[in-house]
Amino acid sequence: MPTVGIKKTLLDKHLEKCYTEKEFDELCFEYGLELDEITSEKAAAEKERGQAGAGDDLSESEDKLHQNICRKRTLVAIGTHDLDTISGPFTYTAELPSNIKFIPLNQTRNFTAEELMNFYSTDSHLKTYLPIIRDKERYPVIYDSNDVVCSMPPIINGEHSKITLNTKNVFIEATATDLQKAIVVLDTVVTMFSQYCEKPFTIEPVEVVYEQDGRKEVYPAGVLFYIKNDKVKMLSCREIMVRVSEINTKIGFQLDARTMATLLTRMSLKAETVNENTLKVTIPPTRHDILHECDVAEDVGVAYGFNKLVRRLPESNTVAEAFPLNKLSDLLRGEVAAAGWTEALNFALCSREDISTRLRDEKALDHAVHISNPKTLEFQVARSSLLPGLLKTISANRDMPLPLKLFELQDVILKDPTSGKTSLLATSCTIQCRKQLLVLLTV
């Protein structure tokens, strides 16, 4: 699960209360969150930098969004720029890599797009995103009205529009292959950081003109209205109708519509009572995670407190029983262990070399299930045999007295050659389904 760092001073300011560590831990538990740890090393630095930390907050939040809803920039890429250093209108186009030339962020010389691909191939942070556009004939690029390169999404921004401590106006651009995801990300960014504006929670929308059909759209989308002759745009909210009876059934409470509306208000959701069994809930742009009546029911449960649920026996009777295969596996483990063997427990993933080169079986890779985005070299394929793991266990325990009597009884994964689909297949006569038993003796 993602871990988010939050400054305690800002949290206390927004909550209008200073919580102790124990109190805050209990508060997080009520909302289904877990307090990981509290660190004090940055306390002195926080006092010195003050509002300068807003820029770091923006950068950290961009990274979190890129890793989660943006799916590592494959769906959406966010760019932030110092608006005072560039001028509109901006052009989002695609050009040949050799024609794109600019100074990338935190660099001092010009690079072509081709040179950037080689330059960042060893960068631990950016090399992950290079395959998104590397094999394309043309690369996306954003120019301002003076042909200054603002960014080459989804890889890197330009140094020219870099945000500094002196930045007063921020230009936010979101390029995407999924428009809905781009809208969600843009709404999230502007609602989070508009609090740092001179007029808190105010933003200036941008008109986007589509080249294909000349269509014009304004983002972030919203509703125009006037306050004291000033034109103001409010971000769009959604409305959904929920049934009180269904929410009570889902969470196990017996609450009336008025009480439920009050609880939803505590969760920043405006709720109006339509009748005794219906609520009209207004979803703000900060809550794109609410998609269904079940999500509203969860917020009602959090606001009311799941600790108030009364324990009771389920209305339906079910009988728990182990799968025959698992039961047999447990019995077999006990017998083998009683005979003096030690069970090893290894990862289900291993490297390509472990199942091929090191076992002198080059064809093993043809039958292995490969991971599309392995995090490390040790987790590239799903194991098709237990032998590599046991050999590694022996290698790590060479200082132990001989003989080493090891066994492992676990799943292995192979491709089904008849259907082309991945399935768990039998690879041992002893365990004929999903399991493989391998006993290894070294003397």
* pLDDT tens readout for residues 384-397: 888 888 888 888 88
Helices (H), 236-348: 244-251, 257-266, 293-304, 324-338
Q: Are residues 345 and 217 part of one domain?
A: no
Q: How confident is the model at residue 409 (pLDDT cuts 50, 70, 90)?
A: confident
Residue predicted with more confidence, 26 or 416: 26
| Position 312 in a domain | no
Residue 383 C-alpha from the chain's centroid: 27
CA-based R_g, the chain, Å = 29
Q: How confident is the model at residue 368 (pLDDT cuts 50, 70, 90)?
A: confident
User: How is residue 111 written in tokens?
Assistant: 């690079």
Q: Are residues 356 and 301 part of one domain?
A: no
DSSP 351: -
Give residue-wise pLDDT tens across range 208-235.
Answer: 898 888 888 888 876 554 444 555 556 7
| Position 222 in a domain | yes
Q: Are residues 198 and 73 part of one domain?
A: yes
**Which CATH number do you get for residue 151?**
3.50.40.10
| Position 185 in a domain | yes
User: How is residue 293 written in tokens?
Assistant: 């009546």
| Position 254 in a domain | yes
Give the mean pLDDT of 5-14.
Answer: 75
Question: What per-residue confidence (pLDDT) applies to 421?
Answer: 54
Q: Are residues 226 and 96 part of one domain?
A: yes
Question: What per-residue confidence (pLDDT) applies to 401?
Answer: 83
Q: How confident is the model at residue 443 (pLDDT cuts 50, 70, 90)?
A: very low
Question: What per-residue confidence (pLDDT) applies to 75?
Answer: 92
Q: Are residues 212 and 125 part of one domain?
A: yes
CB neighbour list of residue 372: distance below 8 Å, 6 or more residues apart? none
User: How is residue 27 written in tokens?
Assistant: 């508060």
Sheet strands (E) in 147-210: 149-152, 156-157, 170-176, 206-209
DSSP 28: H
Reply yes or no on whether the pLDDT at 143 is more than 90.
Answer: yes
Using CA atoms, how far residue 29 sits from 65, 100, 120, 132, 303, in Å, is 24, 50, 42, 39, 12
Residue 252 C-alpha from the chain's centroid: 31
Q: Are residues 67 and 12 part of one domain?
A: no
Q: Are residues 165 and 250 part of one domain?
A: no
Query: Which of 306, 341, 366 corresponds to the end of one domain?
Result: 306
Q: Are residues 168 and 101 part of one domain?
A: yes
DSSP 158: B
Question: What per-residue confidence (pLDDT) applies to 223?
Answer: 55
Reply yes or no on whether the pLDDT at 13 is more than 50.
Answer: yes
DSSP 362: T
| Position 122 in a domain | yes
**Which CATH number do you get for residue 291?**
3.30.56.10
CB neighbour list of residue 373: distance below 8 Å, 6 or more residues apart? none
Burial class (CB in 10 A: 0-12, 13-18, 19+), 237: middle
Q: Compute the residue count for the chain.
A: 443
Reply yes or no on whether the pLDDT at 47 is more than 90.
Answer: no
Q: Are residues 340 and 416 part of one domain?
A: yes
Cis peptide before 403 (omega within 30 of 0): yes
Q: Are residues 90 and 184 part of one domain?
A: yes
Q: How confident is the model at residue 10 (pLDDT cuts 50, 70, 90)?
A: confident
Question: What per-residue confidence (pLDDT) applies to 419?
Answer: 61
Reply yes or no on whether the pLDDT at 428 is more than 50.
Answer: no
User: How is residue 25 written in tokens?
Assistant: 């831990």
CB neighbour list of residue 214: distance below 8 Å, 6 or more residues apart? none
Give the mean pLDDT of 336-348.
Answer: 87
Question: What per-residue confidence (pLDDT) applies to 14?
Answer: 74
Residue predicted with more confidence, 48 or 439: 439
Reply yes or no on whether the pLDDT at 141 is more than 90.
Answer: yes
Reply yes or no on whether the pLDDT at 197 is more than 60.
Answer: yes
Give the mean pLDDT of 272-293.
Answer: 88
Residue percentage of the chain with pLDDT more than 90: 11
Q: Are residues 188 and 268 part of one domain?
A: no
Give the mean pLDDT of 73-98.
Answer: 90
| Position 163 in a domain | yes
**Which CATH number do you get for residue 334?**
3.30.930.10
DSSP labels for 92-127?
EEEE-GGG-EE-BTT-SS-EEHHHHHHHGGG-TTTT
Question: What per-residue confidence (pLDDT) applies to 202?
Answer: 79
Query: Which of 272, 306, 340 corresponds to the end of one domain?
Result: 306
Give the mean pLDDT of 418-433.
Answer: 43
Give residue-wise pLDDT tens across range 102-122.
Answer: 999 888 889 999 999 999 988
| Position 341 in a domain | yes
Whole-prediction pTM: 0.66
Q: Are residues 85 and 35 part of one domain?
A: no
Q: CB neighbours (10 Å) of residue 399? A: 5
| Position 433 in a domain | yes
User: How is residue 265 written in tokens?
Assistant: 């208000």
127 lies in which domain range?
54-233
Question: What per-residue confidence (pLDDT) applies to 17?
Answer: 79
How far apart, in whole angstroms, are the C-alpha atoms of residue 314 and residue 132? 50
Number of domains in the chain: 4
Question: What per-residue confidence (pLDDT) applies to 44?
Answer: 39
Give residue-wise pLDDT tens across range 350-359.
Answer: 998 888 888 8
Give the mean pLDDT of 235-255.
Answer: 86
Give which of 4, 132, 9 is closest to 65, Cα–Cα. 4
Q: How confident is the model at residue 1 (pLDDT cuts 50, 70, 90)?
A: low
Reply yes or no on whether the pLDDT at 25 is more than 60.
Answer: yes
